[in-house]
Amino acid sequence: MQSYLFSRGHRIASYAPSFWFWFWLSAMSLGGSVKAQIVLTTADTIRASGNASQFEIVGYGGVVNQGASSVQLRWLRVGSQLPSTWTHTICDLNSCYPPFVDSADFTLTPRDTSNLDGHFYLNGQAGAGYQRIRLSTLPANAPIMVVTYVASTASSTTQTLISAPNKAAWKLVGRELLLATEGLEAKAMVRVVDQSGREVYRKQVTESVERLLMDQWPSGVYMAILGSGSGTEQYRFVLNR
């Protein structure tokens, strides 16, 4: 039987800044005139196992309150897709929660930090999967960002994608393009065109995380275009052999 260690979370100040990429969000109105700026930090490549015998894969992230007032935040699990034996948890500054906990609140004082980590427990099974959470401000429960943790034993890497609600997040990993959406599935279409404008890929979005495999595509500059009821989003990327 799989056992879990659930402990208090931790703050992220101990991590070396050079390991982190900063994703800035615009200042948001909290409680009327109170302004706060929430920054999400995440490593581009996150510690992961290369085989299913590893106990877990961990995607490390964190949030920072760069405003002058305290901010109350809530994370809510909004979706996951995992191999049959995998389970998953989220850790914040207060705790590492059991798999059945799908939401928790925490408060950040000015300049305060919290970890925001996604853990995958493999239970001996190879494969790939994701879990995603929505981070909102309280008491209005206003969404400010969506974080998607994508784990794979095959690639030995775990990726974290960050987007605003009802927006897409893109990440090129080798010759695989990851596309994460929330609320756009079943009504969105993703297309890819090459540098001459020729369409080389088209697919309706059916999953919260889509994987576009491009092993056979020639090197060059491409543009991915996501069309939905919310409008059109584009992502330019370069493939190299």
Report the sign of the C-alpha dihedral through residues 225, 229, 230, 231, in that order: positive
Q: What does the pLDDT look like over 56-98, one tens digit per residue?
A: 888 878 888 888 889 999 999 988 889 999 999 999 999 999 9
DSSP assignment letter at 83: -
What pLDDT does 27 receive?
Answer: 27
Greatest mean pLDDT among 40-49, 76-85, 154-163 = 76-85
What mean pLDDT is predicted for residues 40-47?
A: 49
Q: Structural domain boundaries of the chain?
A: 1-164, 166-241
**Which residues does 196 contact at the CB level (< 8 Å), separation at least 6?**
none
Q: What does the pLDDT look like over 215-241, one tens digit per residue?
A: 889 999 999 999 877 778 888 999 987
CB 113 within 8 A of CB 107: no
CATH 3.10.520.10 fits 1-164, yes or no: no
Greatest mean pLDDT among 44-53, 85-94, 169-178 = 85-94
pLDDT band at 30 (very low <50, low <70, confident <90, very high): very low
Cα distance between residue 87 and residue 99, in whole Å:
7
81 token code pair: 């897709």
Question: Do the domains 1-164 and 166-241 sit in the same CATH topology, yes or no?
Answer: yes
**CATH for the stretch 166-241:** 2.60.40.3080
Q: Is the pTM of this model over 0.85?
A: no
Cα distance between residue 236 and residue 223, in whole Å:
4
pLDDT band at 21 (very low <50, low <70, confident <90, very high): very low
3-state helix, strand, coil in the chain (%, to 5): 0, 55, 45
